[in-house]
Amino acid sequence: MIKHLLIIKVAMPLKLTLALLGLLATGCACAAKVLPIDVAPLEGAGAEQQFGTDAGHPYQPKEALNSPRAPVFAIDPKDPDSKPLPYYRIAPDTYFFFGNIAEVDGVNRGFNGNAGFVVTRDGVLVVDALGTPYLGRRMLAAIRQVTDQPIRYLVITHAHPDHYYGAAAFAELPGVKVISHAGTVDYAYSSTIQHSVAYRKAFLPAEMKDFKAVVPDILLGGDHPREYTVRLGGKIFRIHDSGQHHSHGDLVMYQQPGNILWVSDLAFNGRVTFIGDGHLHEILARQDWLLRTFPHARLMVPGHGAPQTPPFPMVAQTRSYVKQLTDKISASLRQGESLQDAVDHADLPEFANVPLYRLNHRNNANYVYRVLEEEQFAQ
């Protein structure tokens, strides 16, 4: 986990290199959509990732909606990529891939986040692409079980590996437009992705073979519009820049009819969040914005955990965790505690039994301390 954190925190790319590479990549009238990331597996990485979820207790909920538990679904890399992933129908024409609640490990092999797709009479819109090119292809096989409509859009809610690394499976199909935040372009050209791919190749070699980073065609955020609307086959998808609360750039999507709100990692259901890569103070502000902007939402689909119906307790739970942790670390800083002491005193017993607490909490506390300490010095 610490290694994983380090990888995420590696410096952002040089703007100049970015601009240059961007120029080369778009030298023709056609926008290049995929970049081969040709790195060797990181030596010695990922040994601990072979363990984690207990594969001896497989579980698959019958229903995804409001399910109190997430699946324990083992991915066998020996299965052909033409084998469909399991999926759930959560609303008319709307389907959901229910990821394991775990860090990426040797059991879920990158199926530790959610994704979904919506079928219309004029084509399919896909939301997120799971954690490896292999899983992206197995998503595609599942979509093909439901419909032979062409894939028209892939919306990448943010460029964390568990949502983004399967994207090439879709981007390389003819006629697919990829929508994401401008931060996804930065990430695709960054040294961070090189490290992350090298790391993942060490323990998911078959699934990460021929990995390519997808450069989106339609951008939100940064210098681009903050909203983008897709009208497809009688359905409307309003896609919004939701800032950088969790990554270099996050999106949410509102689907109508049905009032379905795809919130990505702005709220976590049934697990503790990871807050080491976004902007701490944006989390609560963006959650306020979410509830204010979509008062008629009837179904919320998170990036992790079960889709939920109103009043969406997952938002309050994620919020309470972030707020309590921030308050606790603030108090420690006021008392002049060291980083080590503050992290040692940051336990939140209320969340101790929530999945991923043990894995994420100390890292989250560490991150919050560094953010608040920096702010203290800046005053």
Binding residues for Zn ion, rule: CB under 5 A, are 113, 162, 265, 303
Query: What is the closest distance, in whole angstroms, from the C-beta atom of residue 97 to Zn ion in the complex?
Result: 13
238 vs 113, 226, 290, CA distance in Å? 22, 11, 13
- By beta carbon distance, the residue nearest Zn ion is 303
> What does the DSSP assignment read for 120-166?
ETTEEEEE---SSHHHHHHHHHHHHHH--PPEEEEE-S---HHHHTT
Q: Is the dihedral of CA 152, 158, 159, 160 positive or negative?
A: negative
Residue 170's nearest CA partner among 160, 161, 179, 183 is: 179
- H helix or E strand, kind and range, residue 256: strand 251-256
Nearer to Zn ion, 105 or 265 (CB): 265
Q: Are 70 and 305 in contact (CB under 8 A)?
A: yes
Nearer to Zn ion, 93 or 103 (CB): 103
Nearer to Zn ion, 162 or 186 (CB): 162
Residue 49's nearest CA partner among 168, 207, 184, 194 is: 207
Query: What is the closest distance, in whole angstroms, from the C-beta atom of residue 161 to Zn ion in the complex?
Result: 9
Nearer to Zn ion, 198 or 356 (CB): 356
Residue 211's nearest CA partner among 158, 248, 263, 172 is: 172
Query: What is the closest distance, in whole angstroms, from the C-beta atom of residue 193 to Zn ion in the complex?
Result: 16
Query: What is the closest distance, in whole angstroms, from the C-beta atom of residue 35 to Zn ion in the complex?
Result: 22
Query: What is the closest distance, in whole angstroms, from the C-beta atom of residue 170 to Zn ion in the complex?
Result: 18
Nearer to Zn ion, 113 or 183 (CB): 113
